[in-house]
């Protein structure tokens, strides 16, 4: 148990972190409850954009990818995309990503074009990451508020630091919670009581409930810190586990007149490397020297959706340049591959996501009870000072009475 002056210092740190970052903790929790189901909610709000006219055959074949790419290249309004997302569920659509130019250009923003995989018709488009409250923009806005604070790289850094401070607050809370080494003290430390006093309830809830959710809150905070500021966190992970170095894969300079392979050919090359995996995204080369980046989802992966398997291919030969396989990575790579699905809850399927949805309310509950505890102590301290002042008789007045 921490006591004495050290306890006072830790309690003040815990308090000040909550007062300074409390609103951000609450915002991250509430937006996290919604974006745990981002894809489902987005499709429900925007069926005209994000649902195919009939069931799509999954997995989508390379021939369909070739046709969709040709459809985009033939239209001067679209052309070559930076990224092509493939349907992963039976009613999904193709989503092609294009850069945004001009005043609305910012980190995390793209122009999305949706293509029906059955009719090959363009269903519509939207600006991903540009704030708005319309149905097409609502879920992207909520995601970018959660990830970027709607402020690009600056907001991404602020959110990353907020995750770091949340982790520190959790560790301080555990230190302050730790009871004496007696059975009675431990029982009291995990009980939520009322006894006719709301102040007692606030304190016991903040203390007991806090220790039960501390492991999940710490994992969520650490993973959020990593996802926004990987350059800060990766060295910490590398100090205790093996992490593969990050390499920027480059295509070889081709002979004059050599044409780059198509996205469909890149997809086929990726399937040869991972024949049982589902191709979910194809990142196209943007400039000479760039490589294709194909994302796949293997059956045994923890991360759902687009998966976490990545394969880099030479843009002219299709030769594999590098791979990130979450099922066969180093110990640190495996730990990193778990962080995103733990953060979203999808590591444990629908039950995990439902838990994260409810868990997102906890920062609000701890912020409210924490402020009430602080306010009561502050008021009590003020009353104590007033009583002490009332007991002191000024020397001049004492002489007058004499």
Dihedrals phi, psi of 284, to nearest 5 degrees: -90, 150
Q: Give the residue from 76, 100, 130 where a domain finishes.
A: 130
pLDDT band at 402 (very low <50, low <70, confident <90, very high): very low
pLDDT in tens, 290-301: 999 999 999 999
* Nearest 10 degrees: Cα torsion 39, 41, 45, 49: 10
In a domain, 275, yes or no: no
User: Which ranges of 36-101 does DSSP label H, i.e. alpha helix?
Assistant: 38-45, 47-50, 62-73
181-211 pLDDT, tens digit each: 899 999 988 998 887 788 888 889 999 999 9
Give domain status of residue 390, yes or no. Answer: yes
Q: pLDDT of 334-354, one tens digit each?
A: 999 999 999 999 999 889 999
Q: Quick one: 76 and 103 in the same domain?
A: yes
153 shares its domain with 236: yes
The rounded mean pLDDT for the chain is 91
Identify the band that residue 105 occupies on the pLDDT scale cut at 50, 70 and 90. Answer: confident
32 shares a domain with 181: yes
Domain end point (choices 95, 130, 165):
130
**151 and 64 both lie in a single domain:** no
Span 260-270, mean pLDDT? Answer: 96
Instruction: Determine, yes or no, domain membership for 282.
Output: no
Contact assessment for residue 213 and residue 224, using Cβ atoms and an 8 Å cutoff:
no
* Site of tokens 């306890």: 7
Tokens of 135: 């149905």
pLDDT beyond 90 at 224:
yes
364 confidence band (pLDDT: 50, 70, 90): very high
Domain assignment present for 223: yes
Q: How much of the chain is helix, strand and coil, in % rounded to 5? A: 55, 10, 35
Q: What is the pTM of this model?
A: 0.89
Q: What is the pLDDT of residue 321?
A: 97
pLDDT band at 396 (very low <50, low <70, confident <90, very high): low
> Where does a domain end: 65, 98, 130?
130
Distance CA 231, CA 184 (A): 45
H-run or E-run covering 321:
strand 320-324
268 within some domain: no
pLDDT-based confidence at residue 384 (cuts at 50, 70, 90)? low
Same domain? 84 vs 167: no
197 vs 151, 201, 203, 376, 384, CA distance in Å? 43, 6, 10, 12, 20
Q: Are residues 100 and 155 in the same domain?
A: no
Same domain, 80 and 205: no
> Which percentage of the chain shows pLDDT scores above 70?
95
- 192 and 161 fall within a common domain: yes
The backbone torsions φ and ψ at residue 372, rounded to the nearest 5 degrees and listed phi first, read: -65, -40
Q: How far apart are CA 346 and CA 119, in angstroms?
A: 32
Instruction: For residue 377, name the pLDDT band (cuts at 50, 70, 90).
Output: confident
Same domain, 48 and 5: no
> Which pLDDT belongs to residue 56?
87
Per-residue pLDDT, averaged over 140-159, amounts to: 95
Q: Which two tokens stand for residue 144?
A: 């970018």
Q: Specify the pLDDT at position 43.
A: 95
Is position 48 within any domain?
Answer: yes
Q: Please report whether residue 236 resides in a domain.
A: yes
Q: Same domain, yes or no, for 73 and 91?
A: yes
**Residue 84 and residue 14 in one domain:** no
Average pLDDT over residues 7-25: 94
Q: pLDDT tens, 299-308?
A: 999 998 899 9
CA geometry: angle 63, 292, 297, nearest 5 deg: 70
Q: Do 52 and 25 have their domain in common?
A: no
The CA-based dihedral angle spanning residues 199, 200, 203, 208, taken in that order and rounded to the nearest 10 degrees: -150
Tell me, yes or no, whether 398 lies in a domain: yes
**pLDDT reported for residue 196:** 75
Q: Quick check: 363 and 203 in contact, CB under 8 A?
A: no
Q: Does position 329 have pLDDT exceeding 60, yes or no?
A: yes
Q: How confident is the model at residue 401 (pLDDT cuts 50, 70, 90)?
A: very low
Range of the domain at 121: 37-130
Predicted confidence band of residue 106 (pLDDT cuts 50, 70, 90): confident
Percent of the chain, pLDDT > 90? Answer: 76
Instruction: Look at residue 399 and tell me whether its pLDDT is greater than 70.
Output: no
DSSP-derived 3-state class of residue 335: helix
The mean pLDDT value for 19-24 works out to 95
Distance (Å) of CA 337 to CA 216, 254, 300, 310, 317: 17, 34, 13, 12, 29
Q: What total number of domains does the chain contain?
A: 2
Q: For residue 305, what pLDDT is reported? A: 87
Task: Give the gyration radius of the chain's Cα atoms.
Answer: 27
Residue 391 is predicted with a pLDDT of: 65
């Amino acid at each position: 148990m921490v006591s004495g002056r050290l306890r006072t210092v830790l309690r003040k740190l815990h308090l000040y972190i909550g007062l300074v970052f409390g609103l951000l903790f609450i915002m991250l929790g509430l937006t996290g409850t919604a974006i745990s189901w981002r894809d489902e909610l987005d499709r429900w709000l925007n069926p005209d954009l994000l649902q195919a006219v009939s069931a799509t055959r999954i997995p989508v074949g390379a021939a369909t990818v070739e046709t969709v790419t040709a459809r985009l290249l033939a239209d001067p309004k679209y052309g070559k995309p930076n990224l092509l997302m493939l349907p992963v569920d039976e009613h999904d659509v193709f989503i092609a990503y294009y850069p945004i130019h001009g005043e609305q250009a910012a980190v995390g923003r793209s122009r999305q074009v949706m293509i029906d995989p059955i009719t090959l018709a363009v269903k519509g488009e939207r600006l991903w990451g540009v704030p708005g409250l319309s149905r097409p923009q609502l879920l992207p806005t909520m995601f970018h508020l959660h990830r970027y604070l709607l402020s690009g790289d600056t907001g991404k850094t602020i959110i990353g630091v907020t995750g770091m401070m949340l982790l520190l607050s959790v560790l301080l809370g555990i230190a302050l919670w730790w009871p004496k080494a007696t059975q009675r003290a431990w029982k009291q430390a995990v009980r939520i009581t009322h006894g006719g006093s709301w102040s007692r309830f606030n304190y016991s809830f903040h203390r007991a409930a806090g220790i039960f959710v501390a492991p999940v809150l710490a994992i969520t905070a650490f993973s959020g810190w990593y996802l926004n500021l990987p350059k800060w966190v990766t060295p910490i992970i590398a100090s205790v586990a093996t992490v593969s170095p990050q390499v920027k894969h480059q295509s070889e300079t081709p002979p004059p007149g050599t044409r780059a392979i198509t996205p469909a050919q890149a997809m086929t090359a990726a399937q040869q490397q991972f024949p049982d995996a589902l191709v979910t995204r194809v990142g196209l080369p943007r400039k000479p020297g760039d490589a294709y980046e194909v994302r796949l989802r293997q059956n045994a992966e923890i991360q759902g959706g687009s998966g976490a398997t990545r394969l880099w291919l030479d843009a002219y030969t299709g030769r594999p340049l590098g791979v990130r396989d979450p099922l066969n990575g180093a110990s640190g790579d495996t730990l990193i591959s778990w962080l995103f699905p733990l953060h979203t809850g999808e590591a444990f399927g629908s039950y995990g996501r439902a838990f994260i949805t409810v868990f997102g309310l906890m920062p609000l509950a701890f912020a409210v009870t924490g402020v009430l505890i602080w306010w009561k102590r502050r008021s009590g301290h003020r009353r104590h000072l007033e009583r002490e002042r009332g007991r002191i008789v000024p020397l001049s007045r004492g002489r007058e009475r004499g």
